[in-house]
Chains A and B, each alone.
Chain A
Amino acid sequence: MLNNISFGQYYPVQSVVHRMDARVKILLSILFIVAVFFVQTYLGYVVIFLLLVTMIAVSHVKLKSILKSIKGVIFLIVFTAVLNLIFTQSGNTLWAWWIFRLTDEGVRFTAMMALRLLFLVMGTSILTLTTTPIELTDGLESLMTPLKWIKFPVHDVAVIMSIALRFIPTLMEETDKIMMAQKARGADFESGNIFKRIKALVPIIIPLFVSAFRRAEELSFAMDARCYNSSSKRTRYRKMSLGFRDFAASFVVIVCFLAVLTLTYGWLDRFGLVWLGW
């Protein structure tokens, strides 16, 4: 039952996207997010959509797994859509009832916003589906290196992050086990009102916390026993290096990003039209 939390679950297949440098993937994902926020025109949406389709196709991740990541935010998307529909009052009235008034502008805006959120979640889930948590933290650590200049403990943060990521599946497994054990003792998590259900979680949460603390303690002892200390300079087991695929992917994403900006700000209208011979 806990297996369907897809966000951040690595999808183990071979693809160009999987082999890309994690740092590049992170940066390109950020660029993708920014682009999604800047889209204003229909053509811009088409560009983003094509980029997304290409990414999904190249990554060899099943569409089903990507759609699964939407499931978690579907409520948010629907909720904002409803609010947008109700509160956008400019434009021509399409339909009115009591205090509600739907406008063509509102419908357009709502659809665009919902699409944006969808693209956002799908795009970022490609990052987490094709990159192992270890690669992700390594990549983040490498990207945060400049922060060392302002005495930011980059390495410590990276270690904390990788430990946290490392223990998510462990704790999920543990939760599953405890849940099963309490179910075997007749516990019921699936019926009753919300308060009853929250109360039903106590027999899971307490053993889970106890075990998390126990694990934390054991881990810190184990690290101490191996003389772990964060200030020493370490070499890496996995070396990150840029390859042709990273440059190619960057090129494609940056072109799309520029295309979106160009469309949004109408740069073509100002001087590009002549240049393109339109």
Chain B
Amino acid sequence: MSIVVEHLNFTYMPDTPYAKTALKDINLTINEGELFGIIGATGSGKSTLIQHFNGLIKATEGRIKVFDIDLSVKKPDYKRLRATVGLVFQYPEYQLFDETVKADVGFGPRNLGLSKDEIDTRVREAISLVGLNYDDIAEKSPFDLSGGQKRRVAIAGVIAMQPKVLVLDEPTAGLDPKGKKDILRLILSLRKASPTVIIISHDMDEIAGIADRIAVLDKGEVKYVLPPKELFDKAEELSELGLDVPETVKIYKELKKRGIVLPDMPVRKSELARLIFERFKGGRG
């Protein structure tokens, strides 16, 4: 069990006219080595929830445990927690600040108080892990890079802390289709280093094909925690929450309506193609 959340409640600015309940009685268990998706409409509390995972905000009520670190105690070990859970924010490229890419990626490891050699190795590793060439980029200013490169550098800054759990808040927001694909592929390749991955998204197509389980949040409450195929059986319930099912599931359902029943519900394009191919291989109709 990497993260266990029990009866978590959170209210923004309590005891003021601006008080707003953001999370209501959240119960979740995220297993080690799992790719866990969190989806929900804007304002459903996704970002608030993941900020709890590395102690950036403190639960108003309830318990959170990350591996053996209990976040409900008065002073949790924040340093160890942040080395355990790496959090990549939305538009992470807006946090770049240092003079060189190398120094910026090294910010996290420096804060962990590692030795100079260790920092150096980690920075090198992280930069090449995100698919950039260390020698080309290390001495450049992060502000001179392209948008996609900046995002990679920002992700490298978190990876360099070598977290056991990687949490990404809308990692593909604002990227073009190719950029999106690249980042998703990158995330999957990072699982060797940090096996447990939590991704926030509101794009079903993006998350359906890669997640082991998906949690659906609505107005601060967890509605479902299911594997993708079981979740997308509930298309009507999802659309009531303002969420869509992936295109592949839509095609599957349309085909079913027209009397063509595929043996399984596909969540990836390749899977859909294979199923359709197999269905029609034997002959016509």
For A225, the chain B residues whose CB sits under 8 A away are none
For A177, the chain B residues whose CB sits under 8 A away are 89
Kindly state whether residue B220 has any CB partner on chain A within 8 Å: no
For B115, the chain A residues whose CB sits under 8 A away are none
Q: How far is the CB of B148 from chain A (nearest CB, A)?
A: 18
Q: Which of chain B's residues 75-110 have a Cβ closer than 8 Å to chain A?
A: 79, 82-83, 86-87, 89, 92, 94-98, 107-108
Kindly state whether residue B73 has any CB partner on chain A within 8 Å: no
Q: Which of chain A's residues 92-150 have a Cβ closer than 8 Å to chain B?
A: none
Kindly state whether residue A67 has any CB partner on chain B within 8 Å: no
Query: Looking across the interface, which residue of chain A has its beta carbon closest to that of B86?
Result: A184
For A183, the chain B residues whose CB sits under 8 A away are 56, 82
Name the segment of A33-41, A157-165, A199-207, A241-249 touching the other chain: A199-207
Contact indicator per residue, chain B 223-243, by CB within 8 Å of chain A (1) or not (0):
000000000000000000000
Kindly state whether residue B157 has any CB partner on chain A within 8 Å: yes
In the complex, the answer to whether B111 meets A186 with C-beta atoms within 8 Å is yes
**Known A180-B51, A184-B87, A187-B107; contact A210-B82, beta-carbon cutoff 8 A:** no
Contact indicator per residue, chain B 3-34, by CB within 8 Å of chain A (1) or not (0):
00000000001001110000000000000000
In the complex, the answer to whether B97 meets A203 with C-beta atoms within 8 Å is yes
Number of interface residues of A (CB under 8 A): 23
In the complex, the answer to whether A186 meets B82 with C-beta atoms within 8 Å is yes
Q: Is the interface of A mostly helix, strand, loop or mixed?
A: helix
Find A184's partner among B13, B97, B158 (CB 8 Å cutoff).
Answer: B158
Query: Bound state CA distance, A73 and B98, in angstroms?
Result: 35
In the complex, the answer to whether A188 meets B89 with C-beta atoms within 8 Å is no
Query: Bound state CA distance, A167 and B56, in angstroms?
Result: 24
For A12, the chain B residues whose CB sits under 8 A away are 17-18
For B17, the chain A residues whose CB sits under 8 A away are 11-13
Range, interface on chain B: 20 to 34
For A29, the chain B residues whose CB sits under 8 A away are none
Query: Bound state CA distance, A207 and B108, in angstroms?
Result: 16
In the complex, the answer to whether A186 meets B161 with C-beta atoms within 8 Å is yes
Query: Bound state CA distance, A206 and B153, in angstroms?
Result: 17
In the complex, the answer to whether B51 meets A203 with C-beta atoms within 8 Å is no
Q: How far is the CB of B169 from chain A (nearest CB, A)?
A: 10
In the complex, the answer to whether A181 meets B89 with C-beta atoms within 8 Å is yes
For B255, the chain A residues whose CB sits under 8 A away are none
Find A210's partner among B18, B56, B94, B107 (CB 8 Å cutoff).
Answer: B94
Kindly state whether residue B44 has any CB partner on chain A within 8 Å: no
Kindly state whether residue A178 has any CB partner on chain B within 8 Å: yes
For B98, the chain A residues whose CB sits under 8 A away are 203
Q: How far is the CB of B50 from chain A (nearest CB, A)?
A: 10
For B157, the chain A residues whose CB sits under 8 A away are 185
Kindly state whether residue B143 has any CB partner on chain A within 8 Å: yes
Kindly state whether residue B196 has any CB partner on chain A within 8 Å: no
Kindly state whether residue A182 has any CB partner on chain B within 8 Å: yes
For A11, the chain B residues whose CB sits under 8 A away are 17
Query: Bound state CA distance, A3 and B18, in angstroms?
Result: 10
Shortest 5 CB-CB distances between A and B: which pairs?
A: A186-B111, A206-B97, A185-B108, A184-B87, A181-B95
User: Can you list 13 pairs linking A and B with CB atoms under 8 Å apart?
Assistant: A11-B17, A178-B94, A180-B56, A183-B82, A184-B158, A185-B108, A185-B161, A186-B111, A186-B161, A202-B97, A207-B96, A207-B97, A210-B94
Q: Which residues of B contact A (CB under 8 A)?
A: 13, 16-18, 51, 54, 56, 79, 82-83, 86-87, 89, 92, 94-98, 107-108, 111-112, 143, 157-158, 161
